[in-house]
Amino acid sequence: MYGKAFAPEYQGELGAALSVNSSYEEVLATAHRALAAATTPLARSRAQLAVAEANRRLGRVEAAGTAWRAAYRAARTAGDPAAMAWALWSGGTLARQCGTLPLARRLLGHAVALAETGGDRLAHGYALAGLAETGRIQGDYAAVAALHEELLAQARKHGEARHMVWAMSGIAQMHRNTGDHAKALELFEESARIAEGAADHRGRAWSLRGVADVLSLRGEPDRALALLSEAETLCRTMDLAGALAYNHKMRGNVLYRAGRYAAARDTYALALGEFQEMREPRGQALSRLGLAKSRARLGRDRAATLAELDALEREVARIGLRHAREAVIAFRAELTATPAAGTPAPRSGATTRRSPAVPARS
C-alpha cells in the first residue's frame, strides 16, 4: 500500500505550508517569504531549495541555478550534509533539464554520497533516482534498469507513491522504447492509477502522457489526444512549464503518427517555442526533429530537410541522446531511400523514443 504523495524537498516550515500539488508560483512566493524570515543557515538553505525547484519547474533556469547554489552554500555553512545533498540533487536535476548530462551525473553522484553521510534516506533515494533518470535519458538501459527496479521496490516497501510512480513510469518507458508496448501500457496505466489515488497530479500528468504515447502507437489517436488534454489541464493547474512543453511535443507525435501533418507541424512549433523560452536543449532537439519530419511530409525540399537532420544529429550526439540520434538516422534513411519527387509514407513509431518527464521527470 501507499499513502498520499508528499514533497520532501519542501522542508521545515515549508513542508507544513506546501503540498506536492501546490502551484509553483505559490511555492515561489512562500519560499521567498521564508527566505526573508530565515534566521539560520539551515533555514536559508531550505528556503533557497524551494526557490530553486519552483524556478526550475517554471522553466526559469538562471534563477534556479542561482538558488540551488545559494542553498548549497548555506547548507555547507550549517554543516548539514543532508541539506547539501538536497541542494546538489536540485542542481543535478537542473543540469539534466538543461542537457548537460555529464554535469548532472557528477552533481547527483555527490548528492548520493552526502545523503549517505547525513543519513537522509529520502535525499539518497531522490539522488539515486536522478542518476537512474539521467542514464535512461541517455539510453543506457543496461546501467540503470536494475536501479529503477530497486528504487521501485524501496518505494513499495515504504509506501512512497511519488517514487513508485516515477520508477514505474521509467520502467514503462524502457519497455516502450525496446518494443514491448503491452507491458509499457500496463505499467503506465498502473502508475497513472497510483498517482490518482495518491493525489499526485504531477505524476498523473506524466503517466497519462506515457499511456497516450502507447495508445497512439497502437492506432488509437483520439483516445491518446483526450488523455493528453486531461494531462495538459493538470500541467496548467500546477504551472508545470516543462511537463506542458513535453505534453505538446507528445501531442505532435500523436498527430504525426495519425497522418495529420499540418496539425503536427503547428504543435511541434508550439512545443519548440516553449522549450526555447525555458532553454531546454533536449526538448528543443526533439521538437525540431518532429518539425522537420512533419515539414518533409508536407513537401518541404528534401535537401533542406537533410541539412537539418545533419545538424540535429550533431546536436543530439552532443547532448548524449542515443535514441534520438537513432531516430534521426532512421528518418534520414527513409528520406534518402525514396524518389525525390515524393515523400515517404509514415511508419508506425515515435518521432523520438524518449519521453521526460518529469521532471524530467520533474
Q: What is the structure's pLDDT at 11?
A: 86
The model's pLDDT over 145-155, given as tens digits with 9 standing for 90+, comes to: 888 888 888 88
The model's pLDDT over 268-299, given as tens digits with 9 standing for 90+, comes to: 999 999 999 988 999 999 999 999 999 999 99
Give yes or no for residue 362 having a pLDDT over 70: no
Report the distance separating Cα 125 and Cα 82, nearest Å.
12
The model's pLDDT over 21-70, given as tens digits with 9 standing for 90+, comes to: 888 899 999 999 999 999 999 999 999 999 999 999 888 999 999 999 99
Cβ contacts of 165 within 8 Å, gap of 6 or more: 5, 191, 194, 195, 198, 200, 203, 204, 206, 207
pLDDT top residue among 129 and 210? 210
The model's pLDDT over 16-34, given as tens digits with 9 standing for 90+, comes to: 888 888 888 999 999 999 9
Report the distance separating Cα 169 and Cα 97, nearest Å.
18
Cβ contacts of 45 within 8 Å, gap of 6 or more: 71, 72, 74, 75, 78, 80, 83, 86, 87
Per-residue pLDDT averaged across 173-195, rounded? Answer: 94
Query: What percent of the chain lies above the pLDDT cut of 70?
Result: 92
Report the distance separating Cα 220 and Cα 143, nearest Å.
33
Query: What percent of the chain lies above the pLDDT cut of 90?
Result: 68
Give yes or no for residue 356 having a pLDDT over 60: no
Directed axis angle between helix 322-336 and helix 281-297, to 10°? 20
The model's pLDDT over 216-275, given as tens digits with 9 standing for 90+, comes to: 999 999 999 999 999 999 999 988 888 999 999 999 999 999 999 999 999 999 999 999
